[in-house]
Structures are given as C-alpha cells and as structure tokens.
Structure 1
C-alpha cells in the first residue's frame, strides 16, 4: 500500500467517526449504543437545537455573513455574548439559553462562527482564530447598542476568539466589555493537541491531517458515506472522548455528535492548523482588565485543565472552577456549573452592582 493511500484511509477513519476531539476507534457499535440508549434519559424530551431568537444580520469585514440571534429586551442593562467551539454551533449553549431566558435585566446573543452552523463559508485564508476575533467585533457592533456593558462567554475555540478580540481591540476591555467567562479553553501551547486520539496516532497523522482532510472535503460523497456508516461508532466515541460523567444523557451525547457530524470535513481541516498554532498568551493582560471566570475539567482531552489553570494564574482577578469528573464540553455535561458562572459574573458586573454591595 502506497503512502498516499494509507494517509487517506487513516484520515477517512477520523472523518467517519467525527472530529474536534471525538476521533476514531473500533469495536462495539450497535451493542454498545443500544445498551447506552436503553439507560434512563432525563433529557430525552429536551428540545435540543430548537431554541431560537430574533435574527440579526451580521457581515464580517471580509463579507462573510454571520448568523446571530438575540434573546431578551434591547433595553436590558447588560448583554452576554456566547461564543461556541470548533465544529460546534450556537446550540452548544442550549441549557444556558434555556435557563437564562427571562432573567431580569439580561440580554443574550448567540452566534455561529464562520463556516459553522448557519453562518457563511469562509475562504481558506480567513479560516483562522485571528479572523474569528474580528468576527466577534462585528457581532458586537451589530447586536449591542453603544454604551451597553457586555459579558463575553467562550467555550474552547470560542474562548480563543475572545483572546483574539482582546489582541485586536484592546480598547473594548474595561470599557464596553466588563466581564469574561472562559470554558474548556487555552491561551496556546497546543502543539500536543491530540483531537481526542491516542497520542501515538495523533502524532502519526498530524503532519498531513489538514491537507489530506481538505482533499477528502472535495470528495463529499466519500466522506458523507463514511460518516453515515460510522454513526453508531461516532456516538460511542463521542461519549468516551467528549464526556467524563458516565451518567451523561444519551440524548446529550447524540446532540453533540450530530453537531460535529454536520460540520463539513473541509471546515474541520481548514481550522485545524490555526488551533495548533494558537498563541494568545500576550493578550491575557488585556482580558485581565475585567473580572474573569475560568472553568476547567479534570478529564478534558482537548484542552487539559492545566491550560485553564495557566490562564487563571496570569489574570489578577480570575475565579478558577475545576470539575474533576468532566470532559471537554462543560456547557452540556455540567450545564448548571456553567450557567451559574455566567449568572455570578452578570451579577458582579451589571450596572449598579458596586453600589448595591457597598
């Protein structure tokens, strides 16, 4: 077997089982999935992916249309803007959206990063974390009235987007942006990023993953067939690699796996290099001008807890929360912890908070 074909087979296996740390594995399939799905599922009737808000048209600086939605009154004194992670969508924040709706004095914005969800496709040159920082600036301009205080919440790549915004627009932090919540994210040093694969296999495919997967992206029928055939396998691996709580709802696992599977394989390939190269440690002092809540998970296979600890240590006014038995998707696995962090931050920074606590 020649090297090119071998690389394609390996990359196809990864694509077929999902990406963004979900990776590939072998065995079990129908038996394992059936056993898990027969367990009690308190979230079976949860309307995942169905919560919507008022759409707002956002156009990035390179012309890419970005999908954004707003919950809450336009005259609310505080807005929270939620930024999702790699291969996911705004629906990652399902529980936070559900539980914060109707919160007095709070307005929320949910948006899909470029090439994800309902946002437009980026060209290859702009499939970068730096560009998503510029996109976040565009979202703020389009969805938040001038002078309205903002809290930014970011999961995984969404947290990196916030750091990229700080690097590009430091003048916003401490003026319009008054608080930040960072969940399962990193400021850099992602060279050992495994995408949830065993380290040996991750190192083996790292040199050719972007190019090979991009090539597979031009053969959508091959990749879609592989992903379809691997749906049960992807469910099993998603549960193992993205979550740590053995009691996590099967419906939650299936919802996450579906988001990943619907992300085109060429989008996964295009953004992969920027995640590996991500380094925004120099932007942390700007982020640290405002109160920051950092949430990490003890069994996060993509952005290990140490990454979040380093962020918190670099910030003068950071609150660090660690959940030992949790994986990479805290907004879905431990939604109450994440929602509580957002609520506490909102209470801390909303207009008049200092006067009330004085």
Structure 2
C-alpha cells in the first residue's frame, strides 16, 4: 500500500503548487493533456509498438572502448565514455542537454562509430555522473567541467564540440572562459536546438497570457526544500503516462514520433531528480551569452534547429546564425527539441557534411 503524505508534506505541496507547475513549464496545460489519456491507451500503445521500427533499438546499451570518471573543481564526478575510431583527428566531443544524458546522441554515436574517435559524458546531476554537494549548478561550472573532460579524454589534438540544448550553452560558457581553445584546439562547433539567452521569453507553445503567469515563478524554484522535491519526484513517477504525453508534446514536433524514442527520452527525463532540476533553473533562466558567440567566429560552426521546437524555438538558432555570418544553419522540418533523436538521418547527414568540409 502506498504511504500517505504526512501533514508536513501536504503543507509543502499546497504552498509549492505554483513552483511545481512552473518547473514543468506546462503546469497549466497538464490538466487538459491528462483528460482522456487513460481511455484506450492500452490499445493505442499496442498499435504504436506494432508499427515502431525502433522498438528493439538498444538505447543506453551502445559499445564503448573505455570509460572513466573525471572530477571537476567543485567535486563532481563526471562519467565519461570513449568510442575509438579510425580517424583520431578530430575527436568528436558530445555535450548533452538539461534533464537528459549522453544517450541523447545515441544515433550520432552509432553513425560515426568506427570512423571518428568519440567522447561522451554525463553533465553534473545527470545520467551516471555525481551531484553537486550543495548550492546551485551554473553554466560557468559546466564550462569548467568540459575543460576537465578535454584535459583527460583528449589531452592533445583537434576536437569538434557537439552540443545539444544546455550542451550548446556549455560550449558558449567555455568560449567565454577559455577563448584560446578555439584558436588552438577546437576546429569546429555544432550546436543543436540551443540558445544564447532570453529563455525567460519562451512560451512553450502556450498562450501568451498563460506563459506570463509561469515566468515570475521560475527564479523561486531553486528555493524549494528537499522534502518538497522528494514529494514531486514521487508524483512524477506516479504520473508516468502523463509524463510520456508531455514528453511527446514538448520534445517532439512530428505527428507520429517513434514510441520507443519518446519512451527513451521520458526515461532520461524521469531519472533527473526534481532537486537537480530546481538547482539548475536559475542559471538557465538567466543565461545570456550572445557576446561569447564572437569567439566562435574563428571556427566553422553548424547550427541545427527544428521548426517545431517549443523549448528552444527556431528563432534562437536563427539568432545564433545571425551572430555568426559564416555559420551554416540547417532547419529540420517538423523537428522538435530532440530533433537529433526524432530525425537522426537528417541530423547525421548535416554533421557528416560539416565534418567533411573541415580543413
């Protein structure tokens, strides 16, 4: 029998209902989405799985040649995996986004396996990496973490940095901290579904009047007590079906994405604790690194964005491309926020063409 919430927990739930809704950025929409979810879901799931070519895809189980940990300056242990390839130059280094892990690059890792040397790692508080002992996570610290990974996994030689969402922001933070790397070692940058700032203006596809209600609440999410986040985690696990629907709505743009891929993304989301999410919100909400893009003018840049991305809309990719006159912008038609999982062939082809053009 499930344990009933204590009066203390109930009090926390009542007082923090607003920030929990803001945290999901879809709180107001959730009720409407939930209506009808239970009806016929079993039959729909069976029909979807029957036609899903990726139902047996080994997500999270790809080959690696080496794995190890890297400890950051603030004491977080980062899980790193290395996949060797015939081409040892340049090394492809992948940096994943918020509430995800290195598995976000599943199809890219597989596409370039055996050809390029590849390095992947889980960001602090995500996947198999450790958590920050105390305080807030910051993009500055993520940039420093990327430096630590490079120093151990790729001590010399050219690299291509490939960042998705928060991973792209991490690369911008690195450019701000260590611009010399972009003249000495980084020979190319790929940024997928990311932004140089103004995330507080994202409406998440909600009516403007609704999205305005959530924005003032976001900076206060980081103040949520540990007990409240524990309660929220239990609620997330209990609402798996709704979480899957929301993942499909806000992560994907095509009308019929692979249920296996949706499930994999939802799994990555659900394994990122609410406490970690709350401690990241402030740095993402205040992210502003448009000036840092000037450093990237010294290297070839590929910008990829989906035209149906509700989390980092295409306008943010276009803004980055506008700041980098020589950058190539590739738009994925019907692509959502995880276009690299939703339309892997298109994304892989764009990256392959980009790599082939590098000096």
TM-score range, shorter chain: 0.7 to 0.9
TM-score normalised by the chain length of structure 1: 0.88
Q: Calculate the aligned-residue CA RMSD, in Å.
A: 2.5
In structure 1, C-alpha distance between the alignment counterparts of 2:348 and 2:56, rounded to whole Å: 20
CA drift of 1:202 comes to: 3.8
In structure 1, C-alpha distance between the alignment counterparts of 2:305 and 2:209, rounded to whole Å: 25
Aligned to 1:121: 131
SS at match of 2:175: helix
Does residue 284 of structure 2 align to residue 272 of structure 1? no
Q: Spell out the pairing of 1:1-358 with structure 2 (5 A cutoff).
A: 6-12=14-20, 19=24, 24-25=30-31, 26-31=34-39, 33-34=41-42, 35-39=44-48, 40-53=51-64, 54-73=66-85, 76-103=88-115, 106-146=116-156, 148-194=157-203, 199-209=208-218, 211-212=220-221, 215=224, 217-219=226-228, 221-349=230-358, 353=359
SS at match of 1:30: coil
The question of whether the paired residues in 1 share the 8 Å contact of 2:318 and 2:329 is answered with: yes
The question of whether the paired residues in 2 share the 8 Å contact of 1:12 and 1:226 is answered with: no
Which deviates more, 218-227 or 61-70? 218-227
The question of whether the paired residues in 1 share the 8 Å contact of 2:230 and 2:275 is answered with: no
CA drift of 1:44 comes to: 0.1
In structure 1, C-alpha distance between the alignment counterparts of 2:303 and 2:30, rounded to whole Å: 29
Structure 1 residues 202 and 267: CA distance shift in structure 2, 3 A: farther
TM-score normalised by the chain length of structure 2: 0.88
Where does structure 1 lack aligned partners over 5 or more consecutive residues?
A: 354-358
In structure 2, C-alpha distance between the alignment counterparts of 1:21 and 1:182, rounded to whole Å: 25
In structure 1, C-alpha distance between the alignment counterparts of 2:191 and 2:311, rounded to whole Å: 15
Residue by residue, what CA displacement relative to the aligned partner does 1:146-201 show, whole Å, maximum 9, x if unpaired? 1x110000000000000000000000003200000000001112221345665444
In structure 2, C-alpha distance between the alignment counterparts of 1:203 and 1:132, rounded to whole Å: 29
SS at match of 1:191: helix
In structure 1, C-alpha distance between the alignment counterparts of 2:225 and 2:59, rounded to whole Å: 30
CA drift of 1:210 comes to: 5.0
SS at match of 2:174: helix
Where does structure 2 lack aligned partners over 5 or more consecutive residues?
A: 1-10
CA drift of 1:32 comes to: 6.0
SS at match of 1:280: coil
The question of whether the paired residues in 1 share the 8 Å contact of 2:22 and 2:218 is answered with: no
In structure 1, C-alpha distance between the alignment counterparts of 2:232 and 2:306, rounded to whole Å: 32
SS at match of 1:66: strand
The question of whether the paired residues in 1 share the 8 Å contact of 2:160 and 2:187 is answered with: yes
Aligned to 1:356: none
CA drift of 1:21 comes to: 7.2
Which deviates more, 304-313 or 331-340? 331-340
In structure 2, C-alpha distance between the alignment counterparts of 1:213 and 1:230, rounded to whole Å: 23
SS at match of 1:218: helix
